[in-house]
Amino acid sequence: MSELDLYISLFITFFKIGLFGFGGGYAMLSLIQHDVVETHNWISVADFTDIVAISQSTPGPIAFNTATYIGYTATGSIWGSAICTIAVSLPSLIIMITISKFFFMFRDNKYVEMAMQGLKITVLGLIGAAALLLMNKQNFVDYKSYIIFAIAFIATFKFKMDPILMIIAAGIAGYLLY
């Protein structure tokens, strides 16, 4: 693939992610994973999981973070980062400027409301799919991985532990256990 083709393919992929990225952060993960990991093989599942972890502990939305990171690693250039970050932001820019212009038409629109009702429920499935896709052999290397998963799940679900603290604790556990 020529360098221009790579840039075009990155642009189209991240534009699509921005355009169909409904439901925020985690809901976009399966979309990013499908295109970036499965279709284009720009990074491995383990690297993708690392980006999600890094994303949890650095400023900014996961979609931006992934775009900036993959833009750099796929091209080896800052321009790759810039192109991907612009591509993922463009759909929001176009759609939100239009909405801001016609704010009152979108407010209380029953069609928008109905479509959102369908999305709200289905997006949960996409988040579930993201979790299931990441539960593979690269991320779960042995029984210790399942113990870490179970403890992290309970700490988040029952005790609402802060995600950054959780990642730090899991990192320390990994360093000691492996």
Partner 1 sequence: MASYWQIFISFFKIGSFTLGGGYAMIPLIQQEVVDKKGWLKESEFVEMMAIAQSAPGPIALNTAIFVGYKARGVKGVIFSSLGTILPSFIVILLIAIIFTDFKNNPGVERVFKGIRPAVVALIAAPLYKMGKSAGVSRKTIIFPVIAALLVWQLNLSPIYIIIAAILGGLLYGKITHKF
CA-nearest of 166, 163, 6, 176 to 77 is 6
25 binds partner 1 (CB under 8 A): yes
Distance (Å, rounded) from C-alpha 52 to C-alpha 174? 17
9 binds partner 1 (CB under 8 A): no
64 binds partner 1 (CB under 8 A): yes
15 binds partner 1 (CB under 8 A): no
105 binds partner 1 (CB under 8 A): no
DSSP single-letter state for residue 36 = I
Residue 30 beta carbon to partner 1: minimum distance, rounded to whole angstroms? 5
CA-nearest of 141, 137, 138 to 178 is 141
54 binds partner 1 (CB under 8 A): yes
Distance (Å, rounded) from C-alpha 71 to C-alpha 85? 8
Distance (Å, rounded) from C-alpha 33 to C-alpha 43? 9
Instruction: Find the helix or strand (DSSP H, E) in which 135 lies.
Output: none
91 binds partner 1 (CB under 8 A): yes
- With CB under 8 A as the contact rule, the residue among 79, 105, 128, 137 that binds partner 1 is 128
Residue closer to partner 1 by CB (options 3, 24) is 24
122 binds partner 1 (CB under 8 A): yes
Residue 19 beta carbon to partner 1: minimum distance, rounded to whole angstroms? 6
With a CB cutoff of 8 Å and minimum separation 6, the contacts of 106 are: 99, 112
Instruction: Report the Cα–Cα distance between both ends of the chain, in Å, rounded.
Output: 39
Residue closer to partner 1 by CB (options 11, 21) is 21
- With CB under 8 A as the contact rule, the residue among 8, 12, 79, 96 that binds partner 1 is 96
Which positions from 68 to 87 touch partner 1 by CB under 8 A, shown as an x/- string?
xx--xx----x--xx--x--
